[in-house]
Amino acid sequence: MRTLPRGIRNNNPGNIDFNKLNNWRGQVGIETGVENPRFAKFDMPENGIRAIAKLLITYHNKGFRSVKAMINRWAPPVENDTGAYSQAVARKMEIDENQTLTISAYMLTIMVTAIIQHENGYQPYDAETIRRGVVSALK
């Protein structure tokens, strides 16, 4: 039997770090049952997906306007192969990693889906689950 990745177990498919100051919708605390707890835990996947989209919107508003810039912020090079991550996400989005992005439900859906795939090694959610998380982030 295959063990689910942490992001899926925690309903946090973007592996967003836990911070008690964040008041994410559906955040129920920090992960449990691991040697070094680090990531937030959410009550359901849609709220973890919503948090990914909210962070991407925040990055965009702060001037991170390309896949490369956003992924550099999302997954810093000190602990990730950020170049490979950025290229993988851009490839899934079928755009150049330096292309300027405009926030839309479509763009967020594709980028969130690519991040989930990269963070967890596969994409376990159906399109409707991702759509609900992204749409709630835009409200």
115: phi then psi, degrees, rounded to nearest 5? -65, -45
Q: What is the pLDDT of residue 41?
A: 98
Tell me the HSE value of 109 on the side-chain side, using a 13 A CA sphere.
13
Segment 113-127 mean pLDDT: 97
Q: What is the mean pLDDT of residues 122-130?
A: 97
- Would you tell me how many other CB atoms lie within 10 Å of the CB of residue 102? 9
Please indicate, yes or no, whether the overall pTM of this predicted structure exceeds 0.75: yes
Q: Is the pLDDT of residue 48 over 70?
A: yes
Q: Which has the closest alpha carbon to 42: 69, 95, 6?
A: 6
Length of the chain as a residue count: 139
| Residue 81 pLDDT class (50, 70, 90 cuts) | very high
Q: Minimal CA–CA distance to 110: which of 129, 125, 128, 89?
A: 89
CB 29 within 8 Å of CB 41: yes
Percent of the chain with pLDDT over 90: 97
Give the pLDDT band (50/70/90) at residue 117: very high
Structure token pair of residue 2: 């295959």
Residue 1 has what pLDDT?
Answer: 55
| pLDDT at 2 > cutoff 80 | no
- What is the rounded radius of gyration, in angstroms, for the C-alpha atoms of the chain? 14
